[in-house]
Chain A
Amino acid sequence: MNFSILQFPASNCDQDAVHAVRLLGHSAHLVWHKDASLGDTDCVIVPGGFSYGDYLRCGAIARFSPVMQAVKQFADNGGLVLGICNGFQVLTEAGLLPGALIRNRDLQFHCENIFLKTTTNDSPFTSKIPAGKILRVPIAHGEGCYFADEVTLANLKANNQILWQYCDANGNLTDTANPNGALQNIAGICNEKRNVAGLMPHPERACEPLLGSDDGKWVFESIFAALKEKTAARAA
């Protein structure tokens, strides 16, 4: 499979996403933010970082970039798009995902490992995550508090769009396990069509035991499986 990893001027987890995808046996290339084409691609990752410095509001400028117009089109055609951390922020700003990410409730940046409960396996981003498996993956953000109005929240639930929630080691959605004050401990969601997802934690930083956890690989394995199915369907 071939992954396009977007590169905004201050993306700083772009190389990490490339590393993770390659480590797991697939190919990845960077796409510059001024490019209007994604090239030959099976999946787009909008990586972590600070896109255009994010002094205004995380991801607020990135949504206007040429490459994001290409990503919108790719998503409209059913392509898989995953936003990680800043990438999640960019996708909400671009309107590809509902809700917003606001300042962490204690106003501090948080870099630490957290536990993630997979709320549903019914998505191309979660299908291969073993049932009941609590993922241990890092977060690193200052604006990761997921917020949405009540209608949006109700829709997310009704459509089963909440993919991951912060939990404790035993899978309980406690308030202390919530690092940033996100509504309903939401760490990641997908769109209604289920082909665009975003999450604040960094699965690409947790793909090898050497770095402390390889739980993040399950997110990528899910994507690989979905792409394989797609290819098979196309061939058939």
Chain B
Amino acid sequence: MTEPAITPELVTKHGLTPDEYQKILDILGRAPSYTELGIFSVMWSEHCSYKNTRPVLKTFPTKGENILVGAGEENAGIIDVGDGVAIAFKIESHNHPSAVEPFQGAATGVGGIIRDIFTMGARPIAALNSLRFGELSNPEVRRLFSGVVGGIAHYGNCFGIPTVAGEVYFDKSYEGNPLVNAFALGVLRHDQITRGAAHGIGNPVFYVGPATGRDGLAGAAFASQDLTEESAEQQRGAVQVGDPFMEKLVCEACLELLATGVVAGMQDMGAAGLTCSTCETAARAGTGIEIELDKVPQRAPNMSSYEIMLSESQERMLIVVHKGQEEAVKRIFDKWDLPWSEIGVVTDSGRMVVRHGGKVVVDVPAKKLADEAPVYFRESREGTYMEGVRAFRLDGIADTNDPASDLKKLLANHTIASKNWVYRQYDHMVRDGSVVCPGSDAAVIRIKSDSLPITKAEYAAKQAGQPAPASAPIADKFVAFSVDCNGGYVYLDPYEGGKAAVTECCRNLACTGAVPVGSTDNLNFGNPHYPEIFWQLKESVRGLAEGCRAFNAPVTGGNVSLYNQRGALGAIDPTPTVAVVGIIDDPKHITTQWFKDEGDAIILLGKPVDRSDPLQGMGGSAYLKTIHGTKNGLPPRVDLEAAKTLHTTLLGLIRAGGVKSAHDCSEGGLAVALAESCISQLVARDTPRLIGATVDLSGRAAEASGPSPRVDALFFGETQNRVIISCAAVDATKLVERAKLMGVPAVKIGVAGGDKVTIKTNAAELSVPVAELHDAWWNSIARAMA
């Protein structure tokens, strides 16, 4: 097979700069072959190398006493959760593929992140996702939205992982470039942690899983450039096709193989497929690797070495096995009816050598390829739009004269509205662990003994036909997680927006009764070559990092997705999505967001309105956007110290008993949070449990010094660090006093009950039947999609 000659045009076409090409020449001491050029181009793409973001990523807090596998070490981070049990989790994007082919793009995004988890030796037990789309009034957006949700459902449901939480935002900035960030979490015992390293000179290297085809050719490189109409069309072939059935088999077979003890190292073939898995495993172990492409199972005839090395066919794994124990691979993969092939060997050369048709087609130093991608310190400059953002004031905007109508509009705003149309399509209960399902502030999953992968002792007993040994059963553990990011805030103030994202996540966890243990983030931005975009990235990471430090939620890994922009539509709102994972020690402390009983007291923790903010918490608010069509103004500030105090106090109150519900105030402010507390409990299909509320904010507003806040700011402002809790009437004074003692502003603002939501201030009053609010909120997305 003749390969094309390497020309400057070909180098450019591979997304490599002349300097980068020179670096390749220096590393090799000769011109690369066509296959080698392809290999360098994918490994040095942003997706694989983080070449534009490495210096910024280094500023994240990544250390912690419970961290067993840290950020950047492996395919996913791992955190100790006690009793010899650990959790592995990570978030990853599949934005560009989803823009081109929403169903398969999203499906394979889920598949990829699940593989990252079982590659670590963990059994995947929960998934969540964070999605961004344009406005649903646009038919193309509806197509993307329903395709993405369908793809996630297709893959997750068949695989058998509960998709228990997520978030969806709708904003014009995502119109041509939706975001699909998928998160998965797995569980394992400490001694089951598996490394993606090719250890042991002379150990055989196995390829397992379905055959390699031409699908997904160079997807990593595709993800590392701007989307254009042209590229989208051309790259349709770069979108992989997912097979969740296959993934389920590969996962089960891998976990079984791990229990035999024959595995020396394992890595999935994700982005950059065979290329990435071979050179990374060798680089991690400081070894070399030699593979024979003629032995790779192939789906299409006459595939070139370039195609085989760069294919991103799904559900494939690379496994290094201790020499002499090859039989186990054959036995187990035959049992699961999966293709497998011994394709190579671990060497001591430090080189990645690939043979095809009897010839060496690739011979490169593995470590240099994997770890020594160029690093860029991109120029950063504050965008000129920020002047206008800073200058924005509320003077020209009349205060609300119909808060009831505003509230209904906000509840029906697709970003705020119930996402039941989405999560009803996801199996969120499989595996008998979903304690808090989608629809509350954070999801809660139970880890039980049978969630864990089979141990070596259990497996050996099973093989010998003996009863399973009594391997120490573990006490049930409860893991909570939430994913958040208000991209509008980040656009208007990247630093504060970054802080707000982590803070909201941790506030959601606190409302659920959980303490954060770690986080994972997905940085979705535009093209980093624009200094204004890079500034957004840098500043928001500064905010995120500060937040993660404050809440003791070190980053254990994540993903960067740049070039999220499409032609004239421009860049997306910067969206550094963050998922935080927390632990709840006692199931009694698991708390949900909805009011429980008639007559219960409603208490507001936190200040009703931040008086130090000239915009009274209205900058970048859903209210300004929905009612006044404006996305402007500095978003509400986050005081991290106050946030920490709030979260610890709330947890203290929950643990002391008596807190019957807790719901955080975010988009839409106090009125929306109150309404949600009244309407979000779902008993069963078509059967919500609605409960009214009567709330009086007038005393509180008058009490504070200075001019009265605007009515809209009191109702719909998004002042940070606020939580609505409820408790039995007799406990109200006690809870308020305790909160104040801990340094958190607290006041009883009303009583749950009745069939209306009534909120009164000094200047205005709204009163709406709770059923009307429920209808606006619950059915809004279904109506848009009908």
CB distance from A50 to the nearest CB of B (A): 5
Interface residue A57 (Cβ < 8 Å from any Cβ of B):
no
Q: Complex formed: what's the CA distance from A176 to B450 in Å?
A: 37
Q: Which of A176-228 contact B (CB under 8 A)?
A: 176-177, 179, 202, 204-205, 210-212
Q: Complex formed: what's the CA distance from A34 to B687 in Å?
A: 43
* Given contacts A136-B683, A169-B683, A211 and B160 within 8 Å (CB-CB): no
B160 touches A9 (CB 8 A): no
A16 touches B432 (CB 8 A): yes
Kindly identify which residue among B429, B435, B450 contacts A15, using a CB–CB cutoff of 8 Å.
B450
A13 touches B430 (CB 8 A): yes
CB distance from B274 to the nearest CB of A (A): 24
Q: Which of chain B's residues has its CB closest to A114's CB?
A: B685
Total A-B pairs in contact (CB under 8 Å)?
110
Q: Which of B188-223 contact A (CB under 8 A)?
A: none
Q: Which of chain A's residues has its CB closest to B467's CB?
A: A29
Kindly identify which residue among B252, B336, B424, B435 contacts A112, using a CB–CB cutoff of 8 Å.
B424
A204 touches B686 (CB 8 A): no
CB distance from A27 to the nearest CB of B (A): 11
Interface residue A87 (Cβ < 8 Å from any Cβ of B):
no
Kindly identify which residue among B335, B336, B432 contacts A20, using a CB–CB cutoff of 8 Å.
B432
Q: Which of A9-50 contact B (CB under 8 A)?
A: 9-10, 12-13, 15-16, 18-20, 34, 48-50
* Given contacts A53-B245, A109-B153, A179 and B160 within 8 Å (CB-CB): no
Q: Complex formed: what's the CA distance from A81 to B118 in Å?
A: 33
Q: Which of B678-728 contact A (CB under 8 A)?
A: 682-687
Interface residue B47 (Cβ < 8 Å from any Cβ of A):
no
List B contacts of A136 (CB < 8 A): 683-684
Interface residue B241 (Cβ < 8 Å from any Cβ of A):
no
Interface residue B425 (Cβ < 8 Å from any Cβ of A):
yes
* Given contacts A13-B160, A50-B158, A179 and B432 within 8 Å (CB-CB): no
Interface residue A115 (Cβ < 8 Å from any Cβ of B):
yes
B429 touches A202 (CB 8 A): yes
Q: Which of chain B's residues has its CB closest to A134's CB?
A: B684
B430 touches A140 (CB 8 A): yes
List B contacts of A13 (CB < 8 A): 160, 430
Interface residue B772 (Cβ < 8 Å from any Cβ of A):
no
CB distance from B475 to the nearest CB of A (A): 13
Interface residue B249 (Cβ < 8 Å from any Cβ of A):
yes
List A contacts of B431 (CB < 8 A): 12, 15-16
Indicate the member of B424, B430, B684 with the most A CB atoms within 10 Å. B684
Q: Complex formed: what's the CA distance from A202 to B162 in Å?
A: 14
Q: Which of A82-111 contact B (CB under 8 A)?
A: 108-111
* Given contacts A9-B337, A13-B430, A140-B157, A113 and B686 within 8 Å (CB-CB): no
Q: Complex formed: what's the CA distance from A226 to B428 in Å?
A: 32
A111 touches B686 (CB 8 A): no
Kindly identify which residue among A53, A54, A113, A205 contacts B432, using a CB–CB cutoff of 8 Å.
A205
B446 touches A138 (CB 8 A): no
B684 touches A111 (CB 8 A): no
Kindly identify which residue among B157, B159, B435, B685 contacts A179, using a CB–CB cutoff of 8 Å.
B685
* Given contacts A16-B431, A49-B160, A10 and B685 within 8 Å (CB-CB): no
B158 touches A110 (CB 8 A): no
Indicate the member of A112, A142, A177, A205 with the most B CB atoms within 10 Å. A112
A210 touches B446 (CB 8 A): yes
A140 touches B450 (CB 8 A): no
List B contacts of A110 (CB < 8 A): 424-425
Q: Complex formed: what's the CA distance from A13 to B430 in Å?
A: 7
* Given contacts A12-B159, A52-B245, A140-B157, A111 and B428 within 8 Å (CB-CB): yes
Q: Which of B415-436 contact A (CB under 8 A)?
A: 423-435
Q: Which of A111-159 contact B (CB under 8 A)?
A: 111-115, 136, 138, 140, 142
Q: Complex formed: what's the CA distance from A10 to B568 in Å?
A: 45
Interface residue B84 (Cβ < 8 Å from any Cβ of A):
no
B249 touches A12 (CB 8 A): no
List B contacts of A52 (CB < 8 A): 245
Interface residue B448 (Cβ < 8 Å from any Cβ of A):
yes
B248 touches A9 (CB 8 A): yes
A114 touches B430 (CB 8 A): no
Q: Which of chain A's residues has its CB closest to B163's CB?
A: A111
List A contacts of B435 (CB < 8 A): 210-211
B684 touches A169 (CB 8 A): yes
B429 touches A140 (CB 8 A): yes
Interface residues on B, range: 35 or more
Q: Complex formed: what's the CA distance from A37 to B425 in Å?
A: 36
List A contacts of B430 (CB < 8 A): 12-13, 16, 48, 140, 205
A10 touches B245 (CB 8 A): yes
A205 touches B684 (CB 8 A): no
CB distance from B417 to the nearest CB of A (A): 17
CB distance from A168 to the nearest CB of B (A): 7
Q: Complex formed: what's the CA distance from A52 to B683 in Å?
A: 33
Q: Which of chain B's residues has its CB closest to A138's CB?
A: B429
List B contacts of A169 (CB < 8 A): 683-684, 687
Q: Complex formed: what's the CA distance from A230 to B390 in Å?
A: 79
Q: Which of chain A's residues has its CB closest to B587's CB?
A: A210
B158 touches A53 (CB 8 A): yes
Kindly identify which residue among B245, B337, B684 contacts A55, using a CB–CB cutoff of 8 Å.
B245
B687 touches A168 (CB 8 A): yes
Q: Which of chain B's residues has its CB closest to A20's CB?
A: B432
Q: Which of A67-93 contact B (CB under 8 A)?
A: none
List B contacts of A15 (CB < 8 A): 431-432, 450
Q: Complex formed: what's the CA distance from A125 to B426 in Å?
A: 28
CB distance from A156 to the nearest CB of B (A): 24
A112 touches B158 (CB 8 A): no
List A contacts of B246 (CB < 8 A): 53
Q: Complex formed: what's the CA distance from A136 to B427 in Å?
A: 17
B245 touches A50 (CB 8 A): yes
CB distance from B337 to the nearest CB of A (A): 7
CB distance from A215 to the nearest CB of B (A): 11
Q: Complex formed: what's the CA distance from A111 to B160 in Å?
A: 13
Q: Complex formed: what's the CA distance from A15 to B249 in Å?
A: 15
A9 touches B157 (CB 8 A): no
List A contacts of B433 (CB < 8 A): 211
B157 touches A109 (CB 8 A): yes
Indicate the member of B157, B337, B429 with the most A CB atoms within 10 Å. B429
Q: Complex formed: what's the CA distance from A48 to B245 in Å?
A: 14
Kindly identify which residue among B248, B432, B448 contacts A10, using a CB–CB cutoff of 8 Å.
B248
CB distance from B105 to the nearest CB of A (A): 18
List B contacts of A18 (CB < 8 A): 450
Kindly identify which residue among A10, A19, A50, A205 contacts B429, using a CB–CB cutoff of 8 Å.
A205
Indicate the member of B428, B432, B682, B687 with the most A CB atoms within 10 Å. B432
CB distance from A154 to the nearest CB of B (A): 28
List A contacts of B426 (CB < 8 A): 109, 111
CB distance from A176 to the nearest CB of B (A): 5
Q: Which of chain A's residues has its CB closest to B423's CB?
A: A111
CB distance from B355 to the nearest CB of A (A): 34
B245 touches A111 (CB 8 A): no
List B contacts of A16 (CB < 8 A): 430-432
A109 touches B427 (CB 8 A): yes
Kindly identify which residue among A12, A108, A111 contacts B248, using a CB–CB cutoff of 8 Å.
A12
Q: Complex formed: what's the CA distance from A14 to B398 in Å?
A: 60
Q: Which of B127-179 contact A (CB under 8 A)?
A: 153, 157-160
Q: Complex formed: what's the CA distance from A143 to B316 in Å?
A: 29
Q: Which of chain B's residues has its CB closest to A139's CB?
A: B685
List B contacts of A138 (CB < 8 A): 429
List B contacts of A205 (CB < 8 A): 429-430, 432
Q: Beyond the given A9-B337, A115-B687, could you list 6 further A-B residue pairs with CB under 8 A, ordered by the A residue number?
A: A9-B336, A12-B248, A53-B158, A210-B446, A211-B433, A212-B437
Interface CB pairs A-B, < 8 A, 10 = A50-B248, A53-B245, A111-B157, A111-B428, A115-B685, A115-B687, A140-B427, A169-B684, A210-B446, A210-B587
B interface with A by C-beta (< 8 Å): 153, 157-160, 243-246, 248-249, 252, 335-337, 423-435, 437, 446, 448, 450, 587, 682-687
Nearest 8 A/B pairs, CB to CB: A12-B160, A53-B245, A113-B684, A140-B427, A16-B432, A50-B158, A10-B248, A112-B685
